[in-house]
Each structure stands twice: as structure tokens, then as C-alpha cells.
A and B are shown apart, each in its own frame.
Chain A
């Protein structure tokens, strides 16, 4: 009986939380999490409210049912929620990977990158933000310096996206096993572009980033 009540509470909080994310209601979402924490453990809030709501959000993005502003607000809420919840949870196993991220040289559009950073950090990935308009060589240098497992590169325009091929070339030349992950509008319009540029994967959206990390790094061994 207690378990059933708990489950119902978590589900109803999840639903309310998801609705507030979909409505881009930053303060509403925070209020729901505060209420949830009064009734549920931090672990339940994270695993039964926040995480499934984010998964549902990701599904809706894949179905083109949500907008970037909703994802942006969700990333802010998630970053905030996770930073509060994680210290309360003893045995939450975050991903233990490191990534460097930036927009490719000539590209100054930071929003997509910023949202990806928040979700990756929320998933426990240590992320070094290299900023905007980063040269291909710098991506690789910083990845080596930071001992990063992954390089995330964002591009909003086709002609800047094409420069990502240089990062792949440097990685191959130096025989580095760092995984190259790309994202941004040109990749959504041309599903094969990332392969042409020599990237290991593309992310369609910020939430996708977490799944790609798991997939690539588990495949890594």
C-alpha cells in the first residue's frame, strides 16, 4: 500500500514536472521539485521524477513536438535540480567521463553548446567548455591536455560545420582514441554529414548527448 502510494506520488510529480518543463515554466518546475522532496527521497526525485521526465522530453523532441526554449529551460532546471539532489544521494553513480566542448572556428552560436553542457554535467560528465569559434587544433590540444574521452563540437552553419573534418584528420594523424561528437542544424538537415566529416556520432539534441556518451564509451570498452 505504501509502495503504491509512493509510486503514484512519484508519477504525479513526474507528470507535473514534465508539464512545467513543456510549458517552459522555470519557477513552476522548481516548486514541484521542492514539494516532491518533502514527500520523496532525493534518489526517488532524481530517478523517478527528473530522469523519466527528461527521457519523455527527449522523445517529444525526437517527434518534433517541442521547441528549443523548452529544452533550454529544462536544461536550466535540470542543472539546478541535479546540483541540489546529488549531494543528498550517496550511491548515485554518475558517468565518469571527461569531455571538451566548443563551437567550431567561425561559429559564434553558443546556445546549443550551452544546453548540451548542462545536460552532460547533470549526467556526471566532466565538461571543459572551450567557448565559441575554437580552431580544430585547439580542440585536440585541449582534449589531450584535459585527458578527455570525448570532443563535442557544435556548428550552426554548413560552411563552418565542414571545418570539423580537420579535427577528425588531426585525431587520425595523431592516432588518438578520443571520440568526436558533433551537433547543430546542418547535421539535422543532412543525416550523413557527420560521417562525411569523420565524426564518430552526431547528437540530434542536447538530451541525445548523454545517450551518445554512454553508447560510445561503453563501446570503447
Chain B
């Protein structure tokens, strides 16, 4: 079974030869090539090259030519701040006041800012399509405003602001989300993480999810031309987990705060379960810590298939050592086989 077949088996709730492992390398690519993050994300060739090198080095089951979440905000006109050791972040918001929402232009997927990310997907697709799943990501329409206007301003608008203004913004972010996701599928992505951290139980209540996000997400996912996994960037979906299969998502990325057995029991075979290694602690793990954490995840999540081992967030921090990453894959190789 190659990686692609293994992951398809997990997604369709058939039993693969072993548990698939996703190592979501974003910033690690730069480390692998020995260049700065700013340089790394300046060219699709760097990202594609690093992804192919990393998958060869560690033998995990995906390539992840995703750039960074703030790229979407950048396409809308936000500035981006680069760091030496972490993912670029959105800087000055493009929406400074609520009036700006009226004039906010929805970027097209072929806009210059998004050219390199699409090209990176195409480049890896040329090499590994059909052999290794090509995974990328999109920010949910409900969560994208955080980057466009700042967290506080978006929460204010959501809870206390003008309903028409809020809906106008969500229509724009939804339009972009659908177009951007489908452009990535067209370029060669096999599946996307649908990042909706604002929907997690840490941030909003179940009632608020039902009021503001549920229908929006269902309608968005219905328009996408490929499968997505609902991702909370480390946040917990425990308050809405029963609703997630109804969104049309194919999978869920589980927080390290949640119990994989419990999640699997709740979603059954309606969602493939991914997770839930603690990527924050991972930065100071030893090889023994990594082995222990992987075995715990396998013990709780692997039974009866429908499971992919990954971190809880969709991002391996810059400082995680190669020995730890190798130990993750080796431990799955040793203990994650299905008979």
C-alpha cells in the first residue's frame, strides 16, 4: 500500500496496512533548506523541494505545500510579519473600521499573492500525485475576519455589532474561501484542512456556533470540490462535535485536550479522526516522550481504522528535532500496524 492508498483507506473507514502519519511541516521546510523563512516562502520551488525532501527523509504519509494562514489575509491587503522561527503572521489589519467592509475587495485565486502557493501545489503534484496525498489548507469564512480586522474587533462585531455589516463580511470571506479552496484542489491538492479555530469550544459557545457558523460552514463545504478536515488549530470541538459530520467535512483534527477514544465514539464512521499529538509540548520532547505520546494516541485512536496520526494543530513547530520526528514515524511503523 502506498501513502495515498493508505490514507484513502482511512478516509473511507477501511482498514489500511498501518495507521497513516501526517507530519504537517510548514516552517520546517526552511530549516531543511537552511534558508530564512522569508526566503523560503518567496518561491514555490523552495516549498515544493523541501516538502519532497522531508517526506523522503521521514517517510510520513503526506506532503503539505501549504504556505501560512496569513497568506489569505495578505491577499486581502493585510501586511505580513515574518519571524526567524515561526509562521508569518498578519500585521496591520485591512479592516481598520467597520465602514471598510463595504469597500473590501475579494481577492481572486489567481491574484499575484496567491500565485506561489498554487504553483507549489502544482510542483509537488507533478512528482507525487496519486502516490502521496497532497494536503493544503483554507481558513473558514467565520475565522478569516480575525486576521482581516483583529480578534477584538471581530468579536465585537459578532456579538454587539450591526447584523448586516457582519453578514456582508461573511459573504465576502465565504466567496473567497470557496474560490481559494477550489483553486487549490484544481492545482492538485487532494484534501484541505478547513481551519475554523473561532468555532472551537475555547472561543465560542455551541449556541453561537449554531447561530453564526453552522449554516455558513455547511454551505461553504458543499461548494468545495474535494474533501476537508475540520481543524481548530489546537482548540477543542467537544461542544459541537455531534454537529460536525453534518457540515460535510470528511475529517476532524482533534485537540490534545480531547480524548481520542471519546471523539471516535462520538463521530463513529462519519468522520476520519486525526490527531492529537501536542505540538506545543513537542518542541521540548525527547525521543522517549515522542514514543510514549504516539503509543498513547495509537492506543486510543487506531482501533477499527478511520484514524490518521498527526499533531493537534496542523503545524510542527520550528524547534522540534529530527530525532523526535523520526521517532514519531518509527513508533507508528512498529506499533501502528493493522493485522
Show the binding face of A for B, using Cβ within 8 Å. Answer: 23-24, 26, 64, 66-70, 72-73, 106-111, 114, 133, 157-160, 162, 185-186, 189-190, 193, 196
Contact = CB atoms under 8 A, between A and B. Distances in A.
Contacts of A157: 86-87, 89
Contact of B203 (A26, A68, A158): A68
Contact of A69 (B81, B90, B208): B208
A189 B234 contact: yes
Interface in B241-262: 256-257
Interface stretch (B54-62, B127-135, B147-155): B147-155
A187 to B, nearest CB: 9
B85 A159 contact: yes
B248 to A, nearest CB: 24
Nearest to B201: A67
A110 B83 contact: no
Given A70-B205, A189-B256, A190-B280, A159 B317 contact: yes
Q: Which 8 A-B pairs have the closest CB atoms?
A: A159-B86, A111-B151, A189-B280, A68-B203, A67-B205, A190-B280, A159-B85, A111-B152
Interface residues of B, number: 35
Interface string B145-187: 0000011100100111000000000000000000000000000
B151 A110 contact: yes
Interface string B205-225: 101100000000000000000
Contacts of B283: 158
16 contacts: A26-B160, A66-B205, A67-B203, A67-B204, A68-B155, A69-B158, A72-B155, A108-B89, A108-B91, A111-B151, A111-B155, A133-B81, A159-B83, A159-B318, A160-B86, A162-B85
A108 B155 contact: no
B85 to A, nearest CB: 5
Contacts of B143: none
B38 interface: no
Contacts of A189: 234, 256-257, 278, 280-281
B256 A73 contact: no
* Majority DSSP secondary structure for residues of B touching A: loop
A177 B83 CA distance: 31
B80 to A, nearest CB: 11
Contacts of B136: none
A106 B86 CA distance: 10
Contact of B204 (A26, A69, A160, A193): A69
Contacts of B150: 108, 110
A101 to B, nearest CB: 14
A109 B280 CA distance: 18
Contacts of B204: 67-69
Contacts of B238: 64
A59 to B, nearest CB: 17
Nearest to B151: A111
B318 A64 contact: no
A109 B205 contact: no
A49 to B, nearest CB: 22
Contact of B81 (A106, A111, A114): A106
A24 B204 CA distance: 10
B318 A73 contact: no
B74 interface: no
B91 A158 contact: no
Interface in B63-108: 81, 83, 85-87, 89-91
A190 B159 contact: no
Given A26-B160, A68-B203, A159-B86, A114 B152 contact: yes
B236 to A, nearest CB: 7
A72 B239 CA distance: 18
B292 interface: no
Contact of B159 (A72, A109, A133, A159): A72
Most chain B CB within 10 A, of A67, A106, A162, A193, is at: A67
Contacts of B110: none
Contacts of A109: 151
Contact of A158 (B155, B202, B205, B280): B280
Given A157-B86, A189-B280, A24 B159 contact: yes
Given A67-B205, A69-B159, A157-B89, 19 more contacts: A24-B159, A66-B205, A67-B204, A68-B203, A69-B158, A69-B205, A106-B81, A106-B83, A106-B86, A106-B89, A107-B89, A108-B90, A110-B150, A159-B85, A159-B318, A185-B234, A185-B280, A190-B284, A196-B284
A70 B158 CA distance: 13
B281 A190 contact: yes
B154 to A, nearest CB: 9
Contacts of A111: 151-152, 155
Nearest to A133: B81
Contacts of A64: 201, 236, 238, 257
